[in-house]
Amino acid sequence: MKIAQLNLEQYDKKAIVQKLKSMGLPTPKTEHLRYFGIRPIIDRDYEYYTPEVSRIEEGENILIEDGKVTAAPKSVYVEIEKSSKFDDSHYDQFYYISHLLSPYVIHIEIDEPGEYKIVQKFTKNGMLVPYRVKISVKPNIRIKITEDILAISDESLYLNGFDIEIGDYAALTLISNRVTNIEDFTNIGSHYVKVAKDAVFNLYTFDFGNAKTLHNYHVLLDERAVSDENHIIFGKEKSKLGNTFHIEHRGKEAKTTQLSRNILKDKARGIFDGLLIVKNSAKHASIYQDSKTILLNCGAFMISKPQMEIYTEYIQEATHGSTTGHIDEEQLFYLRQRGISESEAKEMLVLSFLNEIFEKLGDEEFKEEFVKIFEESR
């Protein structure tokens, strides 16, 4: 199956088919895909893999292997749904393609506060693997979900994503730990997040490795909803690692803060393409966006596009910026003069550069994991 030659007429999900017909299938000219090198991905002929429904065992974590949920804790309600409503205003064609091709939706409903982990395993070679995971967070509870990615798949394309609904006065912290070290592996995740009145969505994404991963988020904010989004990319070799966003403020006094910190070496490419939209109904919104990148050598490349569209004159704050450069030679010289080796000095400067996000997260494990990955890549 080739994405570029997908025959829409053979599918009975009429609303999705009509949406894709109006948008057109993804091409190298599609704006949010332009820098990802999409041509070889959509032209490759994959074997289509259909995830099967299996018995869900009791386990400590929610385990999803190649789109099939195999384990979950007793405290989490998991249901396999034949179909689910979709976001008809999403900007990403792959969002609709994954909904179109997925035989069912994994629905995870959480109504108790606490910490949960989702482990996603990618093991298939040479295959197109589509699936969707729906997460419902009941009103008035606070939860934390850590997502770990284990990828041993080669020459495959995984089209997946979260459909998240956060109830009134609820809070979800989602930490996506995406380490992928197989050069010819591709994961395109297309996500939808609806944040209800007075709810909070905290997002931390860590994209490390040398694969090709792109995650496209459409976030909708209701009255006084808060979205705090933080992203770290560490790309090496010929990796392409990226995040794109459309964050829509639809209710009054909604707030978004977005930080992107990127470290790139060798011939790696990083992508940050973030659009913050303030609708006319979203009076007194507050939006802040900041992207910073360090290139460790001349072959690395960063695409950074912080953007804003504001349709009301009543705005609390609107700030965005982007900088890309190399490690500060004066700071490096200062550390070297104090007897610190060049490699250790670079590590200190990189960690200082990322420390704002690590401090917000407040989890030493992620910081230690990054240090280990960075040291191994030297």
Give CA 279 to chain center in angstroms.
23
Q: Token pair of 37, please?
A: 């090198």
Give the C-alpha separation, 262 to 296, whole Å. Answer: 11
Average pLDDT, the chain: 93
Residue with tokens 């010289």: 333
Do 334 and 320 fall within a single domain?
A: no
Q: Report the alpha-carbon angle 320-322-327, nearest 5.
A: 145
245-301 pLDDT per residue, tens = 999 999 999 999 999 999 999 999 999 999 999 999 999 999 999 999 999 989 999
> What's the predicted TM-score (pTM) here?
0.95
Domain boundary residue among 326, 348, 366?
326
Is the pLDDT at 378 greater than 70? The verdict is no
Do 220 and 336 fall within a single domain?
A: no
Is the pLDDT at 377 greater than 80? The verdict is no
204-229 pLDDT per residue, tens = 999 999 999 999 999 999 999 999 99
Is residue 176 very low, low, confident or very high in pLDDT (cuts 50, 70, 90)?
very high
Is residue 332 very low, low, confident or very high in pLDDT (cuts 50, 70, 90)?
confident
Do 214 and 362 fall within a single domain?
A: no
Do 242 and 213 fall within a single domain?
A: yes
Q: Report the alpha-carbon angle 172-175-180, nearest 5.
A: 150
* Total structural domains within the chain: 2
Do 244 and 171 fall within a single domain?
A: yes
59-70 pLDDT per residue, tens = 999 999 999 999
Give CA 77 to chain center in angstroms.
24
Do 64 and 139 fall within a single domain?
A: yes
Do 253 and 332 fall within a single domain?
A: no
Is residue 329 very low, low, confident or very high in pLDDT (cuts 50, 70, 90)?
confident
Do 90 and 215 fall within a single domain?
A: yes
Q: What is the DSSP string of 297-316?
A: STT-EEEEEEEEEE--S-EE
Q: Among 73-82, 106-115, 252-261, 333-342, which stretch is predicted with the lowest mean pLDDT?
A: 333-342
8 A C-beta contact, residue 321 and residue 310: no
Boundaries of domain holding 208: 3-326
Do 308 and 211 fall within a single domain?
A: yes
Is the pLDDT at 344 greater than 80? The verdict is no
Give the C-alpha separation, 218 to 208, whole Å. Answer: 22
At position 306, the amino acid (one-letter code) is: P
DSSP 328: -
pLDDT at residue 80, as a whole number:
93
Q: Are strands 162-166 and 132-137 parallel, antiparallel or unpaired?
A: parallel
Domain boundary residue among 311, 326, 341?
326
Average pLDDT over residues 170-199: 96
Ramachandran angles phi, psi of 267, nearest 5°: -115, 30
Residue with tokens 């939706």: 105
Do 144 and 204 fall within a single domain?
A: yes
Q: What is the DSSP string of 31-79?
A: GGGTTTT-HHHHHS-PEE--PPP---EE-SSEEEETTEEEEE-TTSEEE
8 A C-beta contact, residue 2 and residue 43: yes
Specify the DSSP element, H or E, that contains 285: strand 285-295
Do 154 and 248 fall within a single domain?
A: yes
Is the pLDDT at 93 greater than 80? The verdict is yes
- Torsion angle, alpha carbons of 139, 144, 145, 148, to 10: 170
Do 241 and 377 fall within a single domain?
A: no
Q: What percent of the chain has pLDDT over 70?
A: 99
Is the pLDDT at 76 greater than 80? The verdict is yes
Give the C-alpha separation, 231 to 141, whole Å. Answer: 25
Which residues, at least 6 apart from 10, have a Cβ–Cβ distance to it below 8 Å?
Answer: none
Which residues, at least 6 apart from 63, have a Cβ–Cβ distance to it below 8 Å?
Answer: 69, 70, 71, 72, 119, 121
Is the pLDDT at 346 greater than 70? The verdict is yes
Q: Token pair of 377, please?
A: 């890549």
Domain boundary residue among 309, 326, 343?
326
pLDDT at residue 334, as a whole number:
66
